[in-house]
Amino acid sequence: MSGRISLGLVGARGYVGAELIKLVATHPRFELAFVSSRERDGLRLAEHEPAYTGELRYSNLDAAAAAGQGADALVLALPNGMAAGFVAALDAAGANPVVVDLSADYRFDAAWHYGLPELTRVRAAGARRISNPGCYATAMQLAVAPMRDALAGPVQCFGVSGYSGAGTSASDKNNPDKLRDNLMPYSLVGHVHEREVTRQLGHPVEFMPHVAPHFRGITLTANLHLARAFSRDEVQQRYQAAYAGEPLVQVVDEAPWVSRIAGRHGAEVGGFTLSADGRRLVVVSTLDNLLKGAATQALQNLNLAFGLPETMGIPT
């Protein structure tokens, strides 16, 4: 396939939408066909997103109008529970663009491809309905997946995210004044990402999320009980083998720091620490929740869907 590929974005005002606009604006093949935002309807995109230099303006498109735009790809960057109307409108119109949904709405739907490329790209061929993984869920799976066959008992994951993960709608979880000098626990049992990772790994995961005062980036500490004793070298070799050749996942020796990953498009996994008996392993992963946790991963999935190099347009 040659030529430009048109892409529509619904939910363009949010943090993730803004990051995706930056990536698409410099992509060699994708071009923005429309960006939909109720709050910015009629405003020039370039006035809000300097990376974009064209004349496109925000529009306020309902589901039927978005389906009728004829874009080659549609990205839904909407809050949970809002994607179904747009998908139904596409079906009603007989339109079949590549759809990437950034919400949790289709992560449990077997008819949709679950797009965490480093772990699922072997099943990506031909996928036109793609569910983008959650940001925490991406960090958890990258931390745990190389040891999946050696797990004994549930995995415990302690996660800390910057407050951009709470979105742009005002709440305690994205209020810098309330978060200052604080760490806010929430949804400590049954978080959607806990269920998502349990489903994807086929192994129970217990997840305890927190919000911190920094703006972006996730630190995820995973506690793994192992079925047999491992040495640190053996563990490290597993991770290096699992992510060999992965440009967006770096295996590091020391526990990674979130400040080092903020604004970058990949993830770091490391800090491998074993108990004295070698049967308990702690692993730390970090990523930018807006990038590898959302927009960058969406672009990986779009590239794969159109047969392009997976990291095309992604700074590495």
The residues annotated as belonging to the active site are 135
Which structure tokens are listed for 40?
Answer: 């910015």
| Alpha carbon distance 229, 222 (integer Å) | 17
The answer to whether 194 touches 205, Cβ cutoff 8 Å, is yes
CA distance readout (Å), 97 to 5, 37, 57: 11, 20, 22
The answer to whether 40 touches 12, Cβ cutoff 8 Å, is yes
- Pairing relation of β-strands 155-161 and 218-225? antiparallel
Burial 259-280, CB ≥16 within 10 A → b, else e: eebbebbbbbbbbbebeeeebb
Burial 28-63, CB ≥16 within 10 A → b, else e: ebbbbbbbbbeebeeeebeebbeebeeebebbebeb
CA 293 from chain center: how many Å? Answer: 3
